[in-house]
Amino acid sequence: MASDIHMGYTSGKLRTEILRGLSLAVDAGQLTLIAGPSGCGKSTLLSILSGLQRPDAGSVVALGEDLFRGDRHTLDRFRLQHTGFVFQGFNLFPALTALEQVMLPLGYMGVADAAARERGCAALEEVGLAGRMHLLPAELSGGEKQRVAIARALVKQPQLLFADEPTSALDAANGQIVIDTLRRIAHEHGTTVLCVSHDPRLVTHADRVLQMEDGAILGPVHA
C-alpha cells in the first residue's frame, strides 16, 4: 500500500525526519495495529496512509488509487467515498444527537434523509447504542461517545477505517468494547481497519501488529 514514505517537519532551523523511507502493506478485512512509543511517527504515518496529509516523498496506493496523484478535491472525494475515521478525542458536535452525528456525513454524500436515518439507526445499533440515539454528547459517557464516533465512521460503509488511539481516553471496559467493535467491523464487513495505538491491551486483539520505532517499521508481530 505505501512505499518509500518520507516525511519531516521543519521547526525553525531544525529539520526533524519523522518517517524515513517507510514501506508497508496492509491486508484487507483485517484489524492491523501499528504499535509503538509516542513520538515514533505512527500518527503521522496514519495521516499519510489515510490521505489527510501529503508526504514529502513516496506514494500511497489505496483501493487501486494513487492517493497523492490528484489534487485536494480528489483526495476529499476519496475520503468521503471510502474512508472512516475514529480519533482519540471524540469530536462530536455538541448540538447534535447521537443519531444526527451519524447521519451528518451521509447528507454530504448525497444520501436522502430517510435512508440516512435508517443507516444511522443501524450503525448505532451495531455499536450497541440503540437506546441512546437521541441523546446529546453531553448526556453520553466517554465510552458511548467513542462508540458514536465509530458509528459515524461505520455508517459510510467505508472500505478503509482508520483509528488513532481510539482507547486512550477510555477505561478498561469501554476500551474493550471499542476494540471488539473495530475487530468485528473488519471481519464482518471486510473493512480494512488500521489502528494506531500504544495501548498494550489492543495487541492481543489485532489480526496483525506492526511495531514501529523512530520512523520505521521494526517488523511484524503476529498476534
Partner 1 sequence: MIPLARKTLVHEWRRFLPAVLAVAFSGLLLLMQAALVFGIFGATAVYITASDADLWVGYPGTQSIELGRPITPRARTALLMDPGVARVEPFAWIDGDWRGPAGTGGVSVFVSGISPRPEGMIFSDVLTAAQRAALREPFAVIVDRADLPKLGVPIGGRALINGQLVRIAGVASGIRALGGVNVVASLDTARALDNDTGGSEVAYYVAKLKPGADAAAVAARINADAHGYAAWTASSFARRAILYWMFQTGAGLGVVFLAVVVFIVGAIITSQTLMGAIAGSVREYATLHALGVSLGSLRRVVLEQAAWIGVGGLVAGAVLSFGLIALARTQDVPVQLNVPAWLVCAALVMGIALVSGIAAVRALRHADPALLLR
Q: How far is CA 8 from CA 41, 47, 218, in A?
A: 10, 13, 19
Residue 56 binds to partner 1 (criterion: CB under 8 A): no
CA distance 194 to 85: 10
If you ran DSSP here, which 8-state letter would residue 45 be given?
Answer: H
β-strands 160-164, 83-86 pairing: parallel
* Residues between 144 and 163 that touch partner 1 (CB under 8 A): 152-153, 156
With CB under 8 A as the contact rule, the residue among 13, 15, 73, 222 that binds partner 1 is 73
Strand partners, 22: 5
- Mapping DSSP to helix (H, G, I), strand (E, B) and coil, where does residue 155 land? coil
Residue 81 binds to partner 1 (criterion: CB under 8 A): yes
Residue 113 binds to partner 1 (criterion: CB under 8 A): yes
For 25, the grid coordinates are 502493506
- Specify whether the CB–CB gap between 83 and 51 falls below 8 A: yes
Nearer to partner 1, 68 or 87 (CB): 87
With CB under 8 A as the contact rule, the residue among 80, 122, 203, 216 that binds partner 1 is 80
* Residues between 83 and 112 that touch partner 1 (CB under 8 A): 83-85, 87-89, 91-96, 100, 103-105, 107-109
- Contacts with partner 1 by CB under 8 A lie at 43-44, 46-47, 50, 52-53, 73, 76-81, 83-85, 87-89, 91-96, 100, 103-105, 107-109, 113, 136, 152-153, 156, 164
